[in-house]
Amino acid sequence: MIDGRSDQPLLFLDVDGPLIPFRARAVARPHSDLSDNPLVDRLDPADGRRLIDLGCQLVWATTWMADANEVIAPRLGLPALPIVDFPDDDDEPRGGLHWKTSHLTRWAAERPFIWLDDEITDTDWQWVRDHYQGAALLHRVDPFAGLSDADFATVRRWLETRRTSVR
């Protein structure tokens, strides 16, 4: 359920790589609309239901910004989702930190969160461990394959571990 309850973990979702893999998937649908981006045919419509079933508050964390709600969400059967508004600054983080990392931790505001992206590195993991008080799972998705059964299993295990540790 996507209702924004503060007891739900946040799930920050990137589009290019996790949802639109760099290689076509077997589930790709023939181009069926007037979208300017033929790569949207690489979306797996089943991913929408699988994401909803995780029971997290889904949030776009992508440079697609509002286009994610207009182009991606309907194809996945998702409602309009909140969007992390990344600043338009040219300051690159130092030491290999991804430019999204600190913004996502501020947006999460100590809530548990999952971040699915194809550009996460050990540097991001270490920075979050050192600077974020809440629970977090940073999970790198293979950008050539997109979200897989193994990725969803990893997220479900993390969520289950959180649930059992809270009881």
pLDDT digits (tens, 9 = 90+) for 96-127: 899 899 999 999 999 999 999 999 999 999 99
* Residue 3 domain flag: no
- Point out the residues of the chain with pLDDT beneath 70: 1-6, 26-35, 89-93, 166-167
DSSP for 122-159 reads: HHHHHHHHHH--S-EEEEE--TTT-S-HHHHHHHHHHH
- The DSSP call for residue 13 is E
* Residue 56 domain flag: yes
* Residue 2 domain flag: no
Q: Which residues of 141-156 are buried (b: 16+ CB within 10 A; e: fewer)?
A: bbbebbbeeebbebbe
pLDDT tens digits for range 63-73 = 999 999 999 99
| Residue range of the domain that includes 21 | 10-166
* Residue 147 domain flag: yes
* Residue 4 domain flag: no
Residues 6+ apart with CB under 8 A from 151: 18, 116, 139, 141
* Residue 145 domain flag: yes
- Residue 83: which CATH number? 3.40.50
Q: Residues 78, 56: contact at Cβ < 8 Å?
A: no
Tally of domains within the chain = 1
Q: In what order do the strands lie in the sheet with 57-60?
A: 57-60, 10-13, 113-117, 136-140
Whether the pTM exceeds 0.75: the reply is: yes
Q: Which two tokens stand for residue 73?
A: 């969400």
* Residue 106 domain flag: yes
* Residue 1 domain flag: no
